[in-house]
Amino acid sequence: MASRLLHRLRHALASDGPGEAAAGPEAEQFPESSELEDDDAEGLSSRLSGTLSFTSAEDDPDDEDEDDEAGLDSPPSGDGASGEDAERSPPPDGQRSSQLLARQLQDFWKKSRNTLVPQRLLFEVTSANVVKDPPSKYVLYTLAVMGPGPPDRQAAHISRRYSDFERLHRNLQRQFRGPMSAISFPRKRLRRNFTAETIARRSRAFEQFLGHLQAVPELRQAPDLQDFFVLPELRRAQSLTCTGLYREALALWANAWQLQTQLGTPSGPDRPLLTLAGLAVCHQELEDPGEARACSEKALQLLGDKRPHPFLAPFLEAHVRLSWRLGLDKRQSEAQLQALQEAGLTPTPPPSLKELLIKEVLD
For residues 89 and 60, the answer to whether their CB atoms sit within 8 Å is no
Alpha-carbon gap, residue 318 to 312, rounded angstroms: 10
What is the dihedral sign for C-alpha 264, 268, 271, 277?
positive
The pLDDT assigned to 10 comes to 55
Q: DSSP characters for 213-268?
A: HHHSHHHHT-HHHHHHHHHHHHHHHHHHHHTT-HHHHHHHHHHHHHHHHHHT--S-
Nearest-5° Cα angle at 360, 354 to 363: 145
Alpha-carbon gap, residue 232 to 159, rounded angstroms: 9
For residues 159 and 142, the answer to whether their CB atoms sit within 8 Å is yes
Alpha-carbon gap, residue 122 to 144, rounded angstroms: 8
Alpha-carbon gap, residue 158 to 165, rounded angstroms: 12
Half-sphere exposure of 243 (CA within 13 A, CB side): 10
The pLDDT assigned to 65 comes to 37
Alpha-carbon gap, residue 205 to 200, rounded angstroms: 9
Gyration radius (Cα) of the chain, Å: 32
Return the closest-CA partner of residue 305 out of 261, 336, 338: 336
The pLDDT assigned to 227 comes to 93
The secondary structure element, H or E, covering residue 332 is: helix 331-342
The pLDDT assigned to 187 comes to 86
Alpha-carbon gap, residue 96 to 59, rounded angstroms: 28
Q: Where are the beta strands (DSSP E) in the chain?
A: 122-133, 136-146, 156-161
Per-residue pLDDT of the chain (363 residues; tens, 9 = 90+): 545 545 554 555 454 444 444 444 433 333 333 333 333 333 322 222 322 222 333 334 333 333 333 333 333 333 333 333 433 344 444 444 445 544 554 554 455 444 333 457 899 999 999 999 888 899 999 999 988 766 667 899 999 999 999 999 999 999 999 999 989 999 887 788 899 999 999 999 999 999 999 999 899 989 999 999 999 999 999 999 999 999 999 999 999 999 998 887 555 678 999 999 999 999 999 999 999 999 999 999 999 876 678 999 999 999 999 999 999 999 999 999 999 999 898 898 999 999 999 898 887
Alpha-carbon gap, residue 79 to 101, rounded angstroms: 8
Alpha-carbon gap, residue 345 to 339, rounded angstroms: 9
The pLDDT assigned to 183 comes to 93
The pLDDT assigned to 8 comes to 57
For residues 339 and 350, the answer to whether their CB atoms sit within 8 Å is no
Helices 196-215 and 162-175, interaxial angle, to 10°? 30
The pLDDT assigned to 193 comes to 83
> Three-state SS for 31?
coil
The pLDDT assigned to 351 comes to 92
